[in-house]
Structure 1
């Protein structure tokens, strides 16, 4: 078009007088504007700065104009046929998401402190965190609004606001009036459930509260300030912490079991934890833990752990008994110079397998009782007893089928994880079993690792 205007009478005629030309390119998103200038022809004049401003105004370009560039090019001689970024829009800036700043740890330390002599301090083991009523658990920082942007034509571009923080409010917690802080509604033990903070009530028991055989059940945590004597049974939804010694007792916890001194079980004590068990020492007792078992010394015990059994601090010994760990047994010493029979079983799901064995034995006992009752004359009392036994038998069978299916599904996975025994010294009399294969130690081995390799149990390298 401009070429035709410059030569209206044909290419061999004199050029017409045209002032400097200006082309403005505006993309669809209107986030930029480009200016291309064409030289004047004949006696045409150059575009002055005010005229250039008028050109932009006719295209509704009113925002983000590069004024220094616009002033500069009005005096430049080589400004033609070059696309110049004459205006740029402003992109919107999204708001910041809200955040939660914790005042308490979501994952307390899972290992006891070890002093310079290699002794573990289970008293200071803080698997649970004490909190007082109205203490601040965490601070909730609010989300912010975004900063809107603008196109070069002045059209506003809205900015997305930040997402509000997910408040981890759980049981026995509340928000401050301004919604800025999460606080404890009561005094107790604070723990993070994986989704929110919860404050569990704590039952504090002292020596004067523990006399004779007792059956203690509590929907929270239990803290025993002293020893737990023979015949006492303790059941807690949360954790059980005992500052003294545990004798012939039964302890079941929905979380952790912590025995600051140790367990002298007399072959009758039973500890069951849905998470980990920590004790100064374990002697002549049975322990079930869905996670780890940690002790300075384990002597003649039946241990079932779905993860790791660890005895590395203090004496760091595992002597006698049977230790069944799904993943690893890690000890300074296994067995004894006297060749005390010590059996290490690796892999599988120890707690579930032990539970299945118990249910199988109970089922056999119920079946014997049913047979005996069926041989007796029919009476209303006999029929009532038989009805109860048949119900118990049905429930036990359902549990047994459930455990069998779960163990069958997990068996291949358990063996593929390469469970192993890791120890500084292993004495003769120690047997290590994985699946159906076993390895018996007949001479002292130092700094050894024993596990399954190519279907055979023996020394292996652990990376």
Structure 2
């Protein structure tokens, strides 16, 4: 603080040193203030950069007291921007079929396969932007953070250009971007007719297109997508990407579909199907379903009846169950794989508890025989083994109990799924949301089932 008799100049600097303020105080004599005095006061506080001459001159000409004025302002640093990858193909493909006016689903307009040519640029690098240094009112340089360069997501059948800026396809085929970390190109394999004795089982690194049917007993495996124009019988289809059945699947109790992405079909009967993401069909009947995200049954039927369904987030259907009270088991709100691990761990824990109980009973009987001096060498060996078994199981069961508790906690946290019926839910349907359960005992119409605390509630359809 610099004083001029009864006039005082107070200089304050902001904590980040990006602004300096001057406050004038007058004790009553109204002595004139000079510009040099204000500059001197600033200099005494080492304020040397960004000084606002016009503000200082204003204070000299028209002094204003007891009010802070910003008389110096530094420059804040500007952090740079990270580099980016620009994609020259659609990375967010809409996998939902078109619903036509008559209620049918148009499976011809999926546009899931994006074809590229050899030498085609798939993505390019946008360089990072360097940061701009700042400076405080005291003249101190403030360093800025520079942007980091992006990395090209190199997968299979692609190469990086000589200048290192582009990712280029090395073969013609289908571009895939499933795991958000790598871009790959898979060439398509087409089966012009049925998968039968003339073709044998089909296994291919890329996508497979089957123009005919897939007959019972055969298998199709693909690293990319599988698209079938005909009917799938009791066959097995596994795909790293999506499975698209333009007609449907009559599994006869032995058909299996496993997809790393989505499954889309007109109908699915008596089959086991599993998709990491979504499943969409007009009808799923008497099948075992595992779906990581959404099971949606639309079109004219929109039917889900019989079997078991384990779905991560939501089930949407017109009709769930049947008026004949067909047993239909639906679980939502948790990752099916976590629920499966929880179920297996609980079964293992119960089995261990039973084995420990049996070991205890054997040990008790054999100890009594030992006390009576009637323990034969064979019985002694059984006693030793029983004690070892009990010790081992007692340790092991603690690990399993911890696993059960951890999985149960995860199921409790995740259990917020929903079941939405656009028409009816019939008796015979068992609903599990997280760890909560409900049996449908009377027809429900136009509703959503959701979890509320420890209960399953029935709410409006738009809940």
Q: TM-score, normalised by structure 1?
A: 0.65
After superposition, the Cα gap between the structure-2 partners of 1:403 and 1:120, relative to the gap in structure 1 and judged at 3 Å, is farther
- Corresponding position of 1:292: 278
1:196 to partner: Cα distance? 1.7
Confirm whether residue 163 of structure 1 aligns to residue 147 of structure 2.
Answer: yes
After superposition, the Cα gap between the structure-2 partners of 1:419 and 1:25, relative to the gap in structure 1 and judged at 3 Å, is closer
Residues 269 and 287 in structure 2, CA contact (< 8 A), matched pair in contact too: yes
- Corresponding position of 2:329: 344
Deviates more, 1:243-252 or 1:406-415: 406-415
In structure 1, how many angstroms separate the alpha carbons of the residues matched to 2:453 and 2:56? 78
Query: Residue deviations 1:305-347, cap 9 Å, x none?
Result: 455432122321234x31322455432123456x373423335
After superposition, the Cα gap between the structure-2 partners of 1:323 and 1:183, relative to the gap in structure 1 and judged at 3 Å, is same
Residues 356 and 403 in structure 1, CA contact (< 8 A), matched pair in contact too: no
After superposition, the Cα gap between the structure-2 partners of 1:242 and 1:291, relative to the gap in structure 1 and judged at 3 Å, is same
The correspondence for 1:147, drawn from 132, 140, 143, is 132
Q: Secondary structure at the match of 2:54?
A: helix
Superposition pairs for residues 82-161 of structure 1, below 5 Å? 86-127=71-112, 129-151=114-136, 155=139, 157-161=141-145
Confirm whether residue 223 of structure 1 aligns to residue 221 of structure 2.
Answer: no
Superposition pairs for residues 452-463 of structure 1, below 5 Å? 460-461=458-459, 463=463
In structure 1, how many angstroms separate the alpha carbons of the residues matched to 2:8 and 2:436? 89
Deviates more, 1:172-181 or 1:117-126: 172-181
After superposition, the Cα gap between the structure-2 partners of 1:141 and 1:316, relative to the gap in structure 1 and judged at 3 Å, is same
In structure 2, how many angstroms separate the alpha carbons of the residues matched to 1:310 and 1:323? 15
- CA RMSD in angstroms, aligned pairs only: 5.0
In structure 1, how many angstroms separate the alpha carbons of the residues matched to 2:2 and 2:436? 93
Confirm whether residue 238 of structure 1 aligns to residue 224 of structure 2.
Answer: yes
Residues 100 and 165 in structure 1, CA contact (< 8 A), matched pair in contact too: no
In structure 2, how many angstroms separate the alpha carbons of the residues matched to 1:175 and 1:446? 57
1:404 to partner: Cα distance? 11
The correspondence for 2:242, drawn from 249, 256, 274, is 256
In structure 2, how many angstroms separate the alpha carbons of the residues matched to 1:66 and 1:36? 16
The correspondence for 2:259, drawn from 261, 264, 273, is 273
Residues 113 and 125 in structure 1, CA contact (< 8 A), matched pair in contact too: yes
1:92 to partner: Cα distance? 3.3
Give unmatched runs, 5+ long, in structure 2: 348-398
In structure 1, how many angstroms separate the alpha carbons of the residues matched to 2:400 and 2:192? 40
Q: Secondary structure at the match of 1:68?
A: helix
Q: Secondary structure at the match of 1:125?
A: coil
Query: Residue deviations 1:114-136, cap 9 Å, x none?
Result: 22223223333345543333434
In structure 1, how many angstroms separate the alpha carbons of the residues matched to 2:307 and 2:64? 90
- Corresponding position of 2:375: none
1:249 to partner: Cα distance? 1.7
Superposition pairs for residues 16-415 of structure 1, below 5 Å? 32=20, 63-69=49-55, 76=61, 78=63, 86-127=71-112, 129-151=114-136, 155=139, 157-172=141-156, 173-207=158-192, 210-212=195-197, 214-319=200-305, 321-327=306-312, 328-336=314-322, 339=324, 341-346=326-331, 353=340, 410=407, 413-414=410-411
Residues 317 and 334 in structure 1, CA contact (< 8 A), matched pair in contact too: yes
What is the count of residue pairs matched by the alignment? Answer: 395
After superposition, the Cα gap between the structure-2 partners of 1:122 and 1:168, relative to the gap in structure 1 and judged at 3 Å, is farther
In structure 2, how many angstroms separate the alpha carbons of the residues matched to 1:329 and 1:415? 19
The correspondence for 1:423, drawn from 421, 439, 444, is 421
Query: Residue deviations 1:165-187, cap 9 Å, x none?
Result: 43251313444444444444443
1:438 to partner: Cα distance? 6.6
In structure 2, how many angstroms separate the alpha carbons of the residues matched to 1:80 and 1:420? 66
- Corresponding position of 1:374: none
Q: Secondary structure at the match of 1:341?
A: coil
In structure 1, how many angstroms separate the alpha carbons of the residues matched to 2:18 and 2:418? 66
Q: TM-score, normalised by structure 2?
A: 0.65
Bigger radius of gyration, 1 or 2?
A: 1
In structure 1, how many angstroms separate the alpha carbons of the residues matched to 2:145 and 2:206? 41
